[in-house]
């Protein structure tokens, strides 16, 4: 049974369709990256899963429970939701902030003190227990948000742009913390625009655009889907234009062009299923060209995202 599931989930705002028959599935223990342009429906999906927004039609489930008024209390006990903003908690100490939310989950007395110590230790905020919340940096506030949602030990974490607005060091700290939570067995749904970090953090990703799910699968499956051909960078010692012309006759070569801004460098595109880089090298060496480089360009998550959302891959 999936830990997170949506079934034909739809949300309309008047004539605007924010979610259009969304069918999403996240298995227990997955770290799932939810990717999409601004306005694609990521935050709407997360708010529905967090019981903060009612769908127009369809259904969302958390750990087998239908998300709605009947099961709202049980669903909230199973999730930890971190929005993309922190909120205002002036004149409140970090320890007071955590004690307030622990009490909201009926965690009191010695158990509360132990739980707060544990989450402060996990999020590396122990030395900030007596600091005012509004004195913390943006990165520390995000770690405090994660500490808050971990107080009741939820099975599922719903994170909406948790690295938004963070400097590089703070992003690395949040990423390492999320890796640790993943290792602890939490099921994580995370939306983010920082795609290269998602590739390192997540084992599965989903792409949403205009409320529709375009793709879901592993990062490698997404990269494979986005490859419209294998692109090689080839360098020869002389006569790059002639070398490109010779390569166009090689079986499986879709195109070969000399790059004007890089003397001796060729861009060679192979048919994804038929092209063989070894034949490219053999052709050049046999024809007497000095070959100094032959390497394949790798499609990264950003390239794959752009190709899939622009409809370049069917």
What element of type H or E holds 171? Answer: helix 168-183
Crossing angle of helices 301-309 and 219-226, rounded to 10°:
60
* Calpha distance 98→78 (Å, rounded): 18
Q: Say what the pLDDT of residue 164 is.
A: 81
Residues of the chain with pLDDT under 70: 227-229, 261-262, 273, 299, 310-314
Q: Are strands 187-191 and 156-160 parallel, antiparallel or unpaired?
A: parallel
Q: Say what the pLDDT of residue 310 is.
A: 66
* Calpha distance 127→120 (Å, rounded): 9
Q: Say what the pLDDT of residue 309 is.
A: 77
Q: Say what the pLDDT of residue 314 is.
A: 38
Q: Say what the pLDDT of residue 227 is.
A: 64
- Are 230 and 255 spatial neighbours (Cβ–Cβ below 8 Å)? no
- Quick one: how far is CA 298 from the chain centroid? 19
- Are 34 and 45 spatial neighbours (Cβ–Cβ below 8 Å)? yes
On whether the 4-224 domain is CATH 3.40.50.300, my answer is yes
Q: Say what the pLDDT of residue 166 is.
A: 84
Name 309's bridge partners: none
Domains of the chain by residue range: 4-224, 228-298
Q: Count how many residues are written for the chain.
A: 314
CATH number of 228-298: 3.30.70.100
**Whether the domain at 4-224 and the domain at 228-298 fall into the same CATH topology:** no
Edge-to-edge strands, sheet with 79-82 = 79-82, 156-160, 187-191, 31-35, 204-209, 212-218
* Calpha distance 163→89 (Å, rounded): 20
* Calpha distance 107→126 (Å, rounded): 19
């Amino acid at each position: 049974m999936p830990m997170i599931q949506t079934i034909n989930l739809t949300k309309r705002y008047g004539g605007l369709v924010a979610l259009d028959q969304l069918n999403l599935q996240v298995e227990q223990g997955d770290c799932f990256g939810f990717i999409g342009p601004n306005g694609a429906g990521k935050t709407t999906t997360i708010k529905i899963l967090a019981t903060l927004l009612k769908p127009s039609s369809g259904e969302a489930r958390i750990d087998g429970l239908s998300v709605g008024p009947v099961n709202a209390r049980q669903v909230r006990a199973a999730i930890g939701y971190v929005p993309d903003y922190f909120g205002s908690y002036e004149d409140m100490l970090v320890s007071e902030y955590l004690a307030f939310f622990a009490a909201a989950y009926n965690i009191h007395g010695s158990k509360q003190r132990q739980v707060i110590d544990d989450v402060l230790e996990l999020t590396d905020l122990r030395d900030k227990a007596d600091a005012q919340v509004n004195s913390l940096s943006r990165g520390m506030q995000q770690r405090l948000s994660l500490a808050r949602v971990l107080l009741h030990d939820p099975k599922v974490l719903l994170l909406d742009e948790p690295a938004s607005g963070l400097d590089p060091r703070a992003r690395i700290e949040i990423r390492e913390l999320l890796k640790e939570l993943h290792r602890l067995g939490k099921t994580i749904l995370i939306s983010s625009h920082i795609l290269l970090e998602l590739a390192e953090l997540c084992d599965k990703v989903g792409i949403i655009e205009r409320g529709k799910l375009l793709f879901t699968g592993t990062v490698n499956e997404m990269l494979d889907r986005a490859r419209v051909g294998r692109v090689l960078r080839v360098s020869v010692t002389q006569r790059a234009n002639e070398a490109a012309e010779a390569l166009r006759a090689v079986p499986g070569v879709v195109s070969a062009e000399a790059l004007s801004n890089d003397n001796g460098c060729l861009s060679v595109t192979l048919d994804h299923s038929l092209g063989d880089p070894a034949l490219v090298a053999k052709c050049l060496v046999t024809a007497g060209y000095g070959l100094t480089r032959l390497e394949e360009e790798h499609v990264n998550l950003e390239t794959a995202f752009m190709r899939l959302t622009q409809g370049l891959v069917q």
